[in-house]
């Protein structure tokens, strides 16, 4: 058995906030989610998959453009002609009422707002039960796990489709826990909503494929879908397949010596031409904290002139710089409570009590091992030492010896 698991297509993404893009690149970016969808269908046809799962946020908004709807229908019809079933759901971005009038091709099943199960039989006579739901409003705060049935004894495989994220009842996006999902004994959980590709559980896989096309600067790297294949021992194995037309990228050049404005521009252009390859990269450059810039170069960087000149040095066909920043060098100044140590001791004795720890820990204390660890008897000195170690080793926070730290 073989199927595609994709989510968060976000057709109609406006890609706002980008400045100075060439007209051709701007149009390519606007079309990029549609291009990734076409590539997904190409993959499904080439791999001759048994079915396709689309887990929420097909569109970027609850109200879609006619062009985006038409483009989706064209690609679904291609799958229909190849007799490849499609099971889809709507998410928090494209939530739909159950009365929404969609005229999907015959191969498509769209989940309603109630948890339901559909069953299909593959060409190899494998019986697959697929359970899921759609959003009928922007937020789903209730616990839906109780509505998901246990794995059907008549199904060879059962798959859950869930657009949401881990959390507790009251969180906005169909909260769930991995433990709850595993208790259903499904063979695969096809997740959506989180745009970063990740596995929450190895076997059975509980997987986010990420979105198929990055929408903004912090959604870096390759984007695509998961091609899931069954093995002889009845396991399902997901493999990532890239689909994105354009990739957002963070990149740091190697810069040496004192850099004038012209030298810096030349080095950045030369290195980008070598480092960037197809597909087109939208690049956020981070200059090393140790680079030496002349006053003129520093001024060009701070005023945005350097970015504009770098943009003028490329056609945007392979790479396009969207921002330039300088890395911050972490301070190695050790923490010291100094003359505030008396105050700290008083806080440790009167405020950092076991009762206060329990209140602040809140949900963490639902875990037994944390409960035991946090409620151990601890003196003010021991507490201070532990906090100092945490701040110094883990977070590398600094405190000036005199006066408060500078504000942004």
pLDDT, tens digit (0-9, with 9 covering 90-100), for 151-208: 999 999 999 999 999 999 999 999 999 999 999 999 999 999 999 999 999 999 999 9
User: For residue 407, is it within any domain?
Assistant: no
User: For residue 403, is it within any domain?
Assistant: no
For the segment 192-249, what is each residue's pLDDT rounded down to a tens digit? 999 999 999 999 999 999 999 999 999 999 999 999 999 999 999 999 999 999 999 9
Q: Does residue 257 share a domain with residue 230?
A: no
User: Which of 222, 245, 268 delimits the end of a domain?
Assistant: 245
> What is the extent of the structural domain holding 311?
252-326
The total number of structural domains that make up the chain: 3
Q: Does residue 232 share a domain with residue 92?
A: yes
User: For residue 405, is it within any domain?
Assistant: no
CATH number, residue 49: 3.60.21.10
User: Which of 229, 245, 261 delimits the end of a domain?
Assistant: 245
For the segment 55-76, what is each residue's pLDDT rounded down to a tens digit? 999 999 988 889 999 999 999 9
CA 287/CA 325 separation, integer angstroms: 6
Q: Does residue 270 share a domain with residue 193?
A: no
Q: What is the model's pLDDT at position 307? A: 95
User: For residue 377, is it within any domain?
Assistant: yes
Q: Does residue 362 share a domain with residue 296?
A: no
Q: Does residue 228 share a domain with residue 350?
A: no
Considering the entire predicted model, what is its pTM? 0.79
Q: Does residue 258 share a domain with residue 233?
A: no
Q: What is the model's pLDDT at position 365? A: 41
User: For residue 371, is it within any domain?
Assistant: yes
């Amino acid at each position: 058995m073989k199927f595609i698991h994709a989510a968060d297509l976000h057709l109609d993404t406006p890609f706002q906030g980008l400045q100075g893009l060439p007209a051709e690149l701007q149009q390519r970016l606007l079309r990029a989610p549609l291009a990734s969808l076409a590539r997904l269908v190409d993959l499904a046809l080439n791999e001759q998959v048994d079915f396709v799962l689309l887990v929420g946020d097909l569109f970027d908004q609850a109200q879609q453009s006619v062009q985006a709807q038409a483009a989706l229908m064209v690609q679904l019809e291609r799958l229909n002609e190849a007799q490849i079933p499609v099971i889809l759901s709507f998410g928090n971005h494209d939530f739909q009422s159950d009365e929404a009038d969609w005229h999907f091709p015959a191969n498509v099943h769209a989940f309603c707002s109630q948890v339901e199960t559909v069953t299909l039989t593959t060409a190899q006579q494998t019986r697959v039960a697929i359970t899921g739901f759609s959003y009928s409003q922007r937020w789903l705060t209730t616990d839906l796990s109780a509505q998901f049935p246990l794995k059907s004894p008549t199904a060879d495989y059962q798959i859950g489709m869930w657009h949401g994220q881990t959390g507790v009842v009251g969180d906005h996006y169909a909260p769930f826990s991995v433990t709850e999902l595993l208790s259903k004994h499904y063979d695969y959980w096809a997740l959506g909503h989180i745009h970063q590709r990740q596995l929450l559980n190895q076997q059975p896989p509980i997987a986010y494929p990420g979105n198929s096309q990055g929408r903004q600067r912090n959604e870096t790297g390759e984007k695509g879908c998961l091609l899931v294949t069954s093995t002889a021992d009845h396991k399902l194995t997901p493999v990532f397949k890239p689909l994105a037309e354009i990739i957002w990228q963070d990149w740091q050049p190697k810069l040496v010596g004192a850099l004038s404005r012209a030298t810096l521009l030349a080095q950045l252009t030369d290195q980008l031409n070598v480092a960037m390859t197809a597909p087109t990269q939208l690049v956020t450059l981070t200059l090393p904290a140790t680079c030496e810039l002349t006053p003129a170069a520093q001024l060009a960087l701070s005023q945005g002139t350097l970015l504009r000149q770098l943009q003028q040095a490329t056609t945007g066909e392979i790479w396009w710089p969207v921002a330039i920043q300088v890395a911050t060098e972490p301070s190695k100044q050790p923490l010291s409570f100094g003359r505030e140590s008396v105050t700290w001791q008083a806080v440790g004795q009167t405020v950092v009590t076991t009762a206060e720890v329990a209140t602040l820990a809140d949900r963490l204390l639902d875990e037994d091992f944390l409960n035991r660890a946090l409620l151990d008897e601890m003196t003010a000195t021991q507490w201070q030492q532990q906090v100092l170690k945490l701040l110094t080793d883990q977070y590398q926070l600094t405190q000036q010896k005199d006066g408060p730290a500078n504000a942004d």
